[in-house]
Amino acid sequence: MPAYEELLERWDGEAAIVRRDRAADAWIFICVHSTRRGPAGGGTRMKVYASAADGLQDAMRLSAAMTRKLAVAELPLGGGKGVIAVSDIPAGQGRRALLHRYGELIESLGGTYRTSSDMNTGEEDMDVIGERTRYVFGRSPAAGGAGNPADPTALGVFHGIRASLSEAFGSDDLRGRTVLVQGAGGVGSQLAVYAGGKGAFVRIADVDAERARAVAARVGGDVVPADRILEAEADVYAPCAIGGVLTPDTASQLRCRIVAGSANNQLAEPEAADILRARGILYAPDYVINAGGAIALVGLEQLGWSEAEVEAALARIGVTLQAVYRRSEELGVSTAAAADALADERLSAPAPPRVL
């Protein structure tokens, strides 16, 4: 793992805030990648890393993806990410106290960074952080927030899957299609319900086999063992759990026509996108298709949108994806490169008015 100064030297973000939290034996990293279009927004990930530098590197990468995600979604926010690198995922009072200190750190940044939930953090954690700072999205409805964004995220992915089906097969009809969902958590299970509800056959994989079985039973699908994803045939493979699932190796092996899921940072290496393209597999760039949570939370909590306006914005994810697919064909590049080009274009256009 490279040293901190090397990581910072190579990163193109604005600022990294570091706090060593001895009381919880944790490292806190807040990466403000860009405030070009507004304050930096992005979730807080709590995770055990091999080293603290790995946590910083994760925050850097994820914050850059947030900049592109929020720009492509045309929200008035830049990109950021918080990582709490712990030696053990804390619970109870220790967790509360850590989140309070984290909230104080966010508050001290005066709104430059605004958090929400991510891996291993949820609505209750946002409520706790919200006891120390106003710069938090996704508190529970009881605490005045719009709650867990898993459902709008899944709905956005579902719109993206339909747009991808249209692109690949000339029809967005789910009937007769097989959708392989990796991850039976909040987003994956809801996506399974949407796809199953429109007639798709759902196959579901999770490291927790019991959780996968419960979702499969609910939607009339079947379970694929978590280590058999590469062998499973499907029209759509929807990664909705860990990142880094697309490597040159897996991209050469996957047996699907479309990759379209909610996980962040799906590409372990950019070449994987070129391999998918060469194999005729349509890849829905992660940060385009998974923007539904950000769209719903920012829309409802900050922009005063109605439910109907949120629904319309979620449906636009499909439209944006189709524009990405068109651009990929015109430029003869991978869909990932086409999405980056769209993000760059939005980032070099005049910034939207400051509303936050």
What are the residue numbers of the active site?
Answer: 81
List residues near ligand PHE by CB under 6 A.
Answer: 41-43, 116-118, 137, 149, 293-294, 297-298
Nearer to ligand PHE, 294 or 313 (CB): 294
Nearer to ligand PHE, 27 or 137 (CB): 137
Shortest reach from residue 136's CB to ligand PHE, in Å: 9
Nearer to ligand PHE, 178 or 290 (CB): 290
Nearer to ligand PHE, 202 or 298 (CB): 298
Shortest reach from residue 119's CB to ligand PHE, in Å: 10
Shortest reach from residue 278's CB to ligand PHE, in Å: 29
Give the closest residue to 162 by CA, choosing from 331, 316, 338, 326: 316
Shortest reach from residue 320's CB to ligand PHE, in Å: 15
Identify the H or E element spanning 285: none
Shortest reach from residue 339's CB to ligand PHE, in Å: 15
Distances (CA, A) of 30 to 86, 114, 187: 14, 10, 25
Q: Which residue is nearest to ligand PHE (CB)?
A: 43
113 vs 70: CA distance, rounded Å: 14
Task: State the pairing for strand pair 222-223/113-117.
Answer: unpaired
Nearer to ligand PHE, 113 or 201 (CB): 113
- E-strand ranges in 164-259 read 178-182, 201-205, 222-223, 233-239, 255-259
User: What token pair was written down for 87?
Assistant: 């030696």
User: What token pair was written down for 23?
Assistant: 């009381």
| Per-position b or e across 92-120, b if 16+ CB within 10 A of its CB | eeebbebbebbbebbeebeebbbbbbbbe
CB distance 179 to 202 below 8 Å? yes
